[in-house]
A = this chain, B = another copy of it.
Amino acid sequence: MKKRRVPRMNEQESAAWLGLTTVFSLLPSALDRQLQRDSGLTHFEFVVLSTLQLSPEPTMRMTTLAQATDATLPRLSHVVGRLEKRRLVARSTCPEDRRATNVGLTGDGRRVLIRSVPGHIATARRLVIDALTPEQLDALTEITGAIGAKLAEESGDPPPESLSSPARKSSGPKTS
């Protein structure tokens, strides 16, 4: 048991943390509700369909799709299964590697997605974008980027400069 001495946060820090956790607990559900109500889609289903449509190829491998959407493979498998029952996507065994599965958007899927986009963007705008000044938008991009970097280096390997130093687990490079 190493007491790391991280006693408590100062006021500035706890204000930011409190704000973050509050938004965390409220925003995702608000987003989900709107999408569910207007289009019958979960936010994650929306992300899956969007990712498929943005792909240059007409189909994607399950694993690739899972990585692109930050999902575990079982989760993706379940969701794709449901979407397939609703005829929004189609699965087919990859001919080159018969273990793999290719997923593609159906016509219905594309239509449903396209119809759901405006409402979703409108909600995003209403709840977030319109609430912020351009400077705050830039700040938000930087902030989320910084947090995202920490998260990436935490779980998994650090995307940048992974070949220079072999798996150092702690340390703060502090390249700011």
Contacts and interface: CB of A to CB of B under 8 A. Distances in A.
B147 A128 contact: yes
Interface stretch (A76-84, A106-114, A149-157, A160-168): A149-157
Interface SS of chain A: helix, strand, loop or mixed? helix
Contacts of A144: 16, 19-20, 22-23
A126 interface: yes
A130 B142 CA distance: 14
Place the interface of chain A in its size category. 35 or more
A122 B6 contact: yes
Interface stretch (A25-33, A54-62, A88-96, A97-105): A25-33
Contact of A23 (B130, B147, B155): B147
A22 B27 CA distance: 13
B136 A13 contact: no
B138 A27 contact: no
